[in-house]
Amino acid sequence: MTDLVTIILAAGKGTRMKSALPKVLHKVCGKEMVRCVLDTATSAGSKRNIVVVGFGADEVRKALDGAAEVVVQKEQLGTGHAVLQVEPYLRETKGTVMVLCGDTPLLTVGLLRKLYEEHEKAGAKATVLTAIMPDATGYGRVIRTASGDVEKIVEHKDATEDERKVREVNAGIYCFEKDALFSALSKVGCENAQGEYYLPDVLSILRGQGEKIWAVAADDYEETLGVNSRIHLAQAEKILRRRKNIELMESGVTLMDPESTFIDMDVSVGRDTVIYPFTWIEGKTSVGERCNLGPSSRFTDVKIGNGVTAHFVYAHECEIKEGVTMGPFVHIRPDSQVGKNVKIGNFVEVKNSNIGEGSKLPHLQYIGDCDMGAGVNMGCGTITVNYDGKQKFRTKIGDNAFVGCNSNLVAPVSIGDGAYIAAGSTITKDVPSEELAVARAHQKNIPNWPDKRK
Ligand code: UD1
Ligand code: CA
């Protein structure tokens, strides 16, 4: 697919979604539909990708984040009109142009390659991907001649009773010979039920000119499902999640219950990791080997090393290094780095902090804006007091420090290596290395108290 150019149509509003968000930005398996289609095209070998945007153009452009060229279709006058907007950008292009819809996120690399290869082999001017749908409602129907050639595509709204009985549909995916595409597009009219310029009309126009048009049938209709409604979105979501789970299990990951495990498309998981039910692994998260994750946990954009155990944990935009154990009921917030073999017990929150190797946060801690060394022991209920109501400050805790239970470390403050903090202290001044800080009222016992009260 040396010089393949791909056009992805993504300008429509998606009225049937009943949404303020452009349809192609709705996510499936954690990724915007248009990104799914784009990534599949790129993986299939497409060298240049052009996305046609219109409704919500700025939002779609932002989501694409420079990963494709963008062409604007000012008015949404139909799929044929959308492709026509790209013509000025393809003056130099020769050969094959692939056209995809931004609302078919289930497409696979294999299917696109097959379409392309069969199009090239057939030497056709246009090749359309078709599928046999159990329920073809809403799709354009593929009408074939008695000898089986594709005669035309009829949109659902324009189809007769008999045509609507046809279950072979246009998947909205095509390969065209570039010059033939644009010369036929200039002849497409809009006399139809929707008053739109239909891209599929190119096929019957080319056929009428005696050109060869071709069709490739998908083996599995699921790969071609188009998402037009929230119901379709949920169906696509289910299929993609199942696909991802199967891919992971085949690569050596144990999913205790795939039905209740939700792993986004771009997540990677190392082998011999075991994932318990009700666990979400999202975004750009990567998980190492031999981890035990879940139940009831959520990881979003987290880098997780090998051999990590985490149950009942929510961690996001952070790094959890090798051998860490966490949970239950732990919240690791953005910009945190939890070092090797750290132990985090129950009811602990860590925010924007670095926790050094082997340190222990066993119960009831709030650690915010803290740089903690290695081998530190934080007693139950210890808190870094990082906020004075206006500004945030950092706390530094040296290697092997021992912070007694229920202590407050009022930032900015620094605790030296090997220092001790007496339980119940409120530390407001730096504590040098290997010193003991006691910062609490001295205890006074008063004898015979009941008598004195009288
Ligand atoms: C389209 C096909 C139909 C096919 C189906 C497959 C046409 C006329 N119909 O129907 O034969 O079975 O896809 O899923 O092509 N778009 C634009 N600009 C526009 C209109 C649409 O960019 O002016 C984009 C949309 O954002 C969407 C794609 O084109 O990503 C398809 O549009 P949609 O309205 O969903 O077409 P369907 O009715 O599903
Ligand atoms: Ca559609």
- Residue 423 domain-assigned (yes or no): yes
Q: Assess whether pLDDT exceeds 90 at residue 3.
A: no
Are residues 66 and 74 in contact, defined by beta-carbon separation less than 8 angstroms? no
Q: Assess whether pLDDT exceeds 80 at residue 160.
A: yes
Residues 271 and 197 in one domain: no
Residues 430 and 338 in one domain: yes
Are residues 73 and 54 in contact, defined by beta-carbon separation less than 8 angstroms? yes
For residue 67, report the distance from its CA to the centre of ligand 1, in Å.
22
Q: Assess whether pLDDT exceeds 80 at residue 293.
A: yes
What are the phi and psi torsion angles at 167 (to 5°)? -100, -5
Active-site residue, selected from the candidate residues 156, 316, 331, 363:
363
Say which ligand is closest to the CA of 158. 1
Domain that holds residue 115: 5-224
pLDDT digits (tens, 9 = 90+) for 318-336: 999 999 999 999 999 999 9
Residues 256 and 207 in one domain: no
- Counting Cα atoms < 13 Å in the Cβ hemisphere of 274 gives 6
- Binned at pLDDT 50, 70 and 90, residue 99 comes out as very high
Please confirm, yes or no, whether 119 is among the known catalytic residues: no
- Residue 193 domain-assigned (yes or no): yes
362 SS3 class: strand
- Residue 235 domain-assigned (yes or no): no
- Residue 316 domain-assigned (yes or no): yes
Q: What is the CA radius of gyration of the chain?
A: 30
Alpha-carbon distance 98 to 197, whole Å?
A: 18
Total domains present in the chain: 2
- Residue 236 domain-assigned (yes or no): no
In eight-state DSSP terms, residue 387 is B
For residue 288, report the distance from its CA to the centre of ligand 1, in Å.
41
In eight-state DSSP terms, residue 323 is T
pLDDT digits (tens, 9 = 90+) for 347-391: 999 999 999 999 999 999 999 999 999 999 999 999 999 999 999
pLDDT digits (tens, 9 = 90+) for 12-71: 989 999 999 999 999 999 999 999 999 999 999 999 999 999 999 999 999 999 999 999
CATH number of the domain to which 33 belongs: 3.90.550.10
| Mean model confidence pLDDT for the chain | 97
441 Cβ contact list (under 8 Å, min separation 6)? none
Residues 159 and 63 in one domain: yes
Are residues 341 and 322 in contact, defined by beta-carbon separation less than 8 angstroms? yes
For residue 273, report the distance from its CA to the centre of ligand 2, in Å.
38
pLDDT attached to residue 454 = 84
| DSSP string computed for 213-258 | EEEEE-S-GGGG----SHHHHHHHHHHHHHHHHHHHHHTT-EES-G
Alpha-carbon distance 399 to 184, whole Å?
A: 73
pLDDT (mean) for 386-403: 97
- Binned at pLDDT 50, 70 and 90, residue 1 comes out as low
- Residue 449 domain-assigned (yes or no): no
Residue 352, both tokens? 């924007």
CA dist 331 to 35, 41, 267, 273, 315, Å? 30, 38, 20, 21, 6
For residue 171, report the distance from its CA to the centre of ligand 1, in Å.
10
- Residue 237 domain-assigned (yes or no): no
Residues 168 and 265 in one domain: no
139 Cβ contact list (under 8 Å, min separation 6)? 133, 156, 169, 170, 226
4 Cβ contact list (under 8 Å, min separation 6)? 45, 46, 47, 48, 95, 96, 97, 98, 116
- Counting Cα atoms < 13 Å in the Cβ hemisphere of 21 gives 13
Pocket (CB within 6 angstroms of ligand 1)? 9-12, 24, 52, 54, 73, 76-79, 81-82, 101-104, 139-140, 153, 155, 169-172, 198-200, 226, 228
Report pTM: 0.93
Are residues 104 and 227 in contact, defined by beta-carbon separation less than 8 angstroms? yes
Q: Please name the residue whose Cα sits nearest to atom 7 of ligand 1.
A: 198
Residues 46 and 87 in one domain: yes
Residues 117 and 265 in one domain: no
Give the domain-ending residue among 162, 189, 224. 224
pLDDT attached to residue 2 = 66
- Residue 367 domain-assigned (yes or no): yes
